[in-house]
Structure 1
Amino acid sequence: MSAAETVRIGFLPLVDAALPILARELGFGEEQGLAIEMTRDVTWAAVRDRLVYGLTDAAHMIAPLPIATALGRDRPPVPMAVPFVLGLNGNAITFSTALGEAVGLGGTLGDPDAVGAALRHEAHRRRDAGDPLRFGITHRYSSHNYMLRYWLAQVGVRPDIDCTTVVTSPPFAADALAAGDVDGICVGEPWNSIAVDRGVGRIALATAQVWRRGVEKVFSLRADRAAERPEMVAGLIRALHTAAAHFVRPDAARQCAEILARPQYLDGPVDAIERAITDHIRLIPGATPVHYPDFMFQYREAANFPWRSQAAWLYSQMVRWERAGYSADEAAVAQGVYRPDLYRAALAGTGAVLPGASSKLEGALAEPIGAGSTQGRLMLGRDGFFDGRTFDPDDIAGYLDTLPR
């Protein structure tokens, strides 16, 4: 028997790092001839740098960061490849207890418009007093940043004018709230739940309420590494797909939570991790967790498929908030980072559902609908933005013209 090929994967301690961790711990990688080694970091910049400089082979990564890396934002450009989406949604917007009281958060998840109206009043009051609200995000090029800004702008809180954002590493987000360094955070689990359980935060919204089925974490490689090791990439995709099917099994939730809670992974409370896996959120310390269906979303509806239209939307927000001009060439590079061709090639002949298209209208589905596929039967669920907009990846410039400035 030939020796397994070693694959080093970088990650941050978050519930949505589950699939590569499970692929290692449950033997799905070994089934593909891969010996997975996990490398834990505490900042997304470190995860990116390890990947760019060859210290890891692949990484659990925030969805916009490979695009920013390929476009040369903040550093020289490095071509990247995203052949697999690790999960949709799974984040929350959590206020400090003081801000939660100021905007009247109750014992249920708020309505985005109603919470936004109350927040607008408080944000303007704080701005006029010379002490603008501060929100912690995990990285400038993160879906957390873009989802938070999308919501704030639509409800009349102008990012960078009425409030500010600062980068806060996920494991320290609750500490930042406790210290009063930020008034709110947008972060993945279990760090919102930990803030609530510590009594320093109140969950206001799930990001699934801002964009249902919004892309969150991806599995990323350098494009040259993907080209040099195609069998490794295909094996990883198959192992991750198997892990995703296991992760969504109701009878596997506790097992998955216990694995993720280990010191070398999240080093966090099993109960908080299990709540996230089962779509339950505790909004107030000691309260019964509320069930929000599809709070985290993996596997079903081809959730792990890397739609190029997802990359296009992320690029649109990059342009919007950098106040840069739209570039058709950059848009093409951004969409080219997401690699549905690699996904299809790896899973052809398996039981996986393979979409026929590589791009779609985002936010257009109010009800579940069947969609074209080259393998299996594809159903797509509701994917709306809270403001009712849709995004056409073939008209990014036109879309940008419709957004609040």
Structure 2
Amino acid sequence: MSERLKIGFLPLVDAALPILAHEHGFAAEQGLALEFVRDLSWATVLDRLLYGHSDAAHMLAPLAIATTLGIGRPARSLSVPFVLGLNGNAITVSNALADRIQPEAGLGNAVDVGARLKTAVAGHGRKPRFGVVHRHSSHNYMLRYWLAACGVQPDRDVEIVTIAPPFAADALAAEEIDGICVGEPWSSVAVERGAGRIVLTTAQIWRRGVEKVLAVPTARLEEKRGAIERLVIAMRKAGEHFVDPANWETNAAILARTEYVGADPALILRAISDRLRLVQGGALVHFPDFMFQYREAANFPWVSQAAWLYAQMVRWEGMGFDPDAARTAMGVFRPDVYRAALTGRNSPLPGASSKVEGGIGMPLGVGAAQGTLVMSPDRFFDGKTFDPERLEDYLASLP
């Protein structure tokens, strides 16, 4: 008899791997019967998870950490045994603002667009307002990281508000906001409606930025450890299927269904194939690794990525650095569970659990406990690196 797992998610393309693990039978092969609960806000996904209405969830990586630390609500320990993907977000702004900060065709350069935005902010008349999907989201922290590095002070020069992903395009069309940082397909929906233009992807800010994760209450993980490990196996198989061009159209059609993303399959296909339409009626632009769901160590829960997210919380939440909190934050990511699930299987496993983020400038072979692992460039746009062993020095170096 199959073991049932209920998984919460938001209608986003990067919820793909558990959905496709179910649809293509990879979960059933592992003795799992998956049930999905679709929500429209991250707050509801989190509430369902914390109160036992789901066993695991498609989750914002920083939200799993903030919940464990008790930021904004009583602390509840979550664990992340699997990263559902890196990258996948775009910064889309109103047509009027796009004319000022990215007048050229194509995706902008992060430094140049930031410099023009700094000039535009000075003469805007009011603070431009940007929408992000949650206070504790990589969208928020990546947007802030880019703005600050370009001399635009978040909360002083611009306003940042929260909008649930399915309503981001509506808010931009209604001129309630001047820009959004959101995952697909919602930036593309805004472009197709003529509400704005894509000027940057977050992969241009941090080439290998951690994005969504599978989050599990730590107590539930221990209770269902075998089932969660089998889910990791099934999702890795789904990832291999997902990135194969021969399967793109099939997977886009599955994800487009109303019970999942509920969007035009053509828009989902673009995201899967790393293609974006930047302006209504424009040609498709190919941006390699716009979404990064499987290759290299894309699904590995690097402790150093959790540490970077904690550093951004310290920077922007005004909570101060605490070494105990830092250790707790890093402990949310569980490479031990990932390794236990995939040891002895055809999947490369890093030899280390942490690394210097942003330190790879060209393809680099790294030590692997299993298989062969070559890592691609993971640079931050401003050239900085992040060493989790020197977290306080890193914070002191930031503008």
Q: TM-score range by the shorter chain?
A: over 0.9
Q: Distance in 1 between matches of 2:94 and 2:272?
A: 24
Residue identity opposite 1:132 in structure 2: K
* Partner of residue 45 from structure 1, selected from 34, 43, 46: 43
- Aligned-partner residue type, residue 99 of structure 1: L
CA contact (8 A) 2:352 2:367 kept: yes
For 1:201 and 1:149, locate their aligned partners in 2 and report how far apart those are by CA, in whole Å.
20
Residues of 2 paired with 1:325 and 1:103: CA distance? 34
Partner of 1:377: 372
Q: Tell me the CA shift for residue 107 of structure 1.
A: 2.0
Q: What's the counterpart of residue 4 of structure 1?
A: 2
Partners of 1:398 and 1:123 in 2: how far apart? 30
Give 2:61's match in structure 1, choosing from 44, 60, 63.
Answer: 63
Does structure 1 conserve the Cα–Cα contact (< 8 Å) formed by 2:102 and 2:199? no
* Residue 25 (structure 1) shift: 0.9
Q: d(CA) in 2 for partners of 1:192 and 1:377?
A: 36
| 4+ aligned runs moved over 6 Å, structure 1 | none
User: 1:80-125 CA distances to partner (integer Å, 9 max, x unpaired)?
Assistant: 1000000000001000111112324332000001111111111122
Structure 2 counterpart of 1:124: 122
Extract unaligned runs of 5+ from structure 2.
Answer: none
1:23-56 Cα deviation digits (max 9, x unpaired): 1111111111111001000111111110011100
Q: In 2, distance between residues paired with 1:355 and 1:11?
A: 28
Closer, same or farther: CA 238–104 of 1 in aligned 2, 3 Å: closer
State the identity as a percent.
Answer: 58
Q: Structure 2: how far apart are the matches of 1:53 and 1:122?
A: 45
TM superposition shift of 1:323: 2.0
For residue 297 of structure 1, report the CA deviation from its aligned partner: 0.4
- Distance, in Å, in 2 between the alignment partners of 1:61 and 1:224 is 17
* Most deviating of 103-112 and 178-187: 103-112
Equivalent position of 1:235 in the other structure: 230
User: What is the TM-score of this pair, normalised by structure 1?
Assistant: 0.98
- Secondary structure at the residue paired with 2:15? helix
CA contact (8 A) 1:105 1:204 kept: no
Is 1:391–2:386 an aligned residue pair? Answer: yes
Distance 2:76 2:122 in 1: 41
Structure 1 unaligned residues grouped into runs of 5+: none
Residue of structure 2 equivalent to 1:22: 20
Give the aligned partner of residue 311 of structure 1.
306
Distance in structure 2 (CA, Å) of the matches to 1:49 and 1:261 = 25
Aligned equivalents of 2:363, 2:102: Cα separation in 1: 34
Distance 1:107 1:8 in 2: 44
Q: Is the 8 A contact 2:13 2:255 kept in 1?
A: yes
Matched to 2:134, the amino acid is: H
Q: CA RMSD in A?
A: 0.7
TM-score by length of structure 2 reads 0.99
Q: SS of the counterpart of 1:215? A: coil
Alignment of 1:179-328 (within 5 A): 179-328=174-323
Q: Secondary structure at the match of 2:369?
A: strand
| Structure 2 Cα separation of the partners of residues 98 and 229 of structure 1 | 51
Aligned pair partner of 2:330 in 323, 331, 335: 335
Distance in 2, Cα, partners of 1:54 & 1:198: 38
Number of aligned positions between the proteins:
399
